[in-house]
Amino acid sequence: MSAPITIPEIVVVNTTATTKEQVTKELAKLLKKSGRLKSVSKYLKAVAAREEHFPTGIEGGIAIPHAQSDYVLVPSVCVATTKAGIDFGADDGPSTLIFLIAAPASGEGAHLEILGSLARKVMDEEFCDHLRAQTDPAQIAEILTREVQN
């Protein structure tokens, strides 16, 4: 079996970040620290480039910034929750649940699978509310890996 896409070490409950740049950097640093990413700055460039072309905030207080990069070692979904919300360009306002998807550049299939599976799950308000209610990163990691990684 492949590595879990989300581990407690890449989950931030109640981030203090206030901008999309701050929160993606915070999550990317956790990816590097946990051995899933080779370069924070180079990966963040890919995320920023993606974000410029198409904002990743979606309705319901969700943001799914993502990028494929040669610097990603393990396909991962980082999570940050915030009560204040962070602007990711969604029509209905700030995002309170942020999922940063990191996928290796060579793994087009994995990237699209994770993105598709996550996008389907976040359409379920109960699923999102359940994640937002969690205070333990291990719980969030377990739920996400179980529900999104098939």
Tell me the CA end-to-end span of the chain in Å, nearest whole number: 11
Cβ neighbours of residue 32 closer than 8 Å, sequence gap 6 or more: 38, 39, 40
pLDDT at res. 1: 46
Q: What is the residue range of 97's domain?
A: 8-148
Residue pLDDT, tens place only, 28-76? 999 999 999 999 999 999 999 988 888 899 999 999 999 989 999 999 9
Sign of CA dihedral 126, 14, 146, 112: positive
Q: What is the pTM of this model?
A: 0.94
**Count of domains observed in the chain:** 1
CATH of the domain at 99: 3.40.930.10
Instruction: Kindly state whether residue 1 falls inside one of the protein's structural domains.
Output: no
